[in-house]
């Protein structure tokens, strides 16, 4: 099984990274895992031109092509995003917008699509106490899955997370989730 863990924030050393590192370390021995942070990739803004509807490719040549290739290779996806101003971070939104060529909103029947059979888990985190912001972020991830032909399997969220030191108390739960989510 190939598992792709995606840190949907610009920061590869924070709480989101700590969550995904914990899950990666708890993955079953036989699984192949990769952890990527969107902040480490060049991802330009979608121009809204819809040229991809005609050409089946984005006019912008940057980190999206290799990232989409990684998505294509994975069986299981874990998308984790912190709340920035009660929403996903800008780089996460850019990533989502740039998936348009692969989305079922692309009317071209020959357009590129991710292979069927992938499943995705969502994780949201925030510093504040009320779950509503996290629920919104999980809905965004579920919405992305719906248009990308990926089965949204489960969401998990954490409130009162300022930085990576706040993840310590949740590591046992994250290891449990890794065992359940990454089972064959």
Ligand X SMILES: Cc1cc2nc3c(=O)[nH]c(=O)nc-3n(C[C@H](O)[C@H](O)[C@H](O)COP(=O)(O)O)c2cc1C
Binding residues vs ligand X (CB under 6 A): 9, 11, 14-16, 82-86, 125-128, 133, 161-163
- Minimum CB–partner distance for residue 102 and ligand X (Å): 26
Give the residue among 39, 158, 173, 50 at the shortest CA–CA distance from 111. 50
- Minimum CB–partner distance for residue 180 and ligand X (Å): 23
Closer to ligand X by CB, 118 or 126: give it. 126
Distances (CA, A) of 31 to 25, 35, 110: 11, 13, 32
The DSSP output letter for 36 is E
Closer to ligand X by CB, 94 or 127: give it. 127
Tokens 């021995």 found at: 29
Closer to ligand X by CB, 87 or 142: give it. 87
Closer to ligand X by CB, 100 or 127: give it. 127
- Minimum CB–partner distance for residue 65 and ligand X (Å): 25
Closer to ligand X by CB, 39 or 60: give it. 39
- Minimum CB–partner distance for residue 131 and ligand X (Å): 10
Contact 38, 6 (CB under 8 A): yes
Question: In whole angstroms, what separates CA 38 from the centre of its chain?
Answer: 9
Closer to ligand X by CB, 82 or 122: give it. 82
- Minimum CB–partner distance for residue 4 and ligand X (Å): 18
- Minimum CB–partner distance for residue 17 and ligand X (Å): 6
- The DSSP secondary structure of 21-88, one letter per residue, reads HHHHHTS-TT-EEEEEEGGGS--PPP----HHHHHSS-S--STHHHHHHHHHH-SEEEEEEE-BTTB-
| Burial status of residue 20 (CB atoms within 10 A of its CB: 0-12, 13-18, 19 or more) | buried
């Amino acid at each position: 099984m190939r598992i792709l863990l995606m840190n949907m924030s610009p920061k590869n050393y924070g709480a989101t990274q700590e969550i995904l590192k914990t899950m990666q370390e708890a993955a079953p021995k036989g699984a192949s895992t990769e952890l990527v942070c969107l902040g480490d990739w060049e991802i330009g803004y979608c121009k809204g031109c819809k040229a991809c509807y005609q050409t089946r490719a984005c006019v912008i040549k940057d980190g999206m092509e290799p990232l989409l290739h990684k998505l294509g290779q994975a069986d299981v996806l874990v998308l984790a995003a912190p709340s920035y101003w009660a929403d996903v971070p800008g780089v996460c939104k850019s990533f989502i917008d740039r998936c348009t060529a692969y989305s079922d909103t692309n009317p071209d029947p020959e357009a590129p699509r991710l292979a069927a059979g992938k499943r995705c888990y969502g994780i949201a985190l925030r510093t504040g106490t009320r779950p509503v912001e996290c629920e919104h972020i999980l809905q965004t991830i579920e919405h992305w899955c719906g248009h990308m032909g990926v089965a949204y399997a489960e969401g998990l969220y954490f409130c009162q997370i300022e930085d990576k030191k706040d993840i310590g108390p949740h590591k046992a739960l994250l290891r449990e989730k890794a065992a359940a989510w990454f089972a064959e």
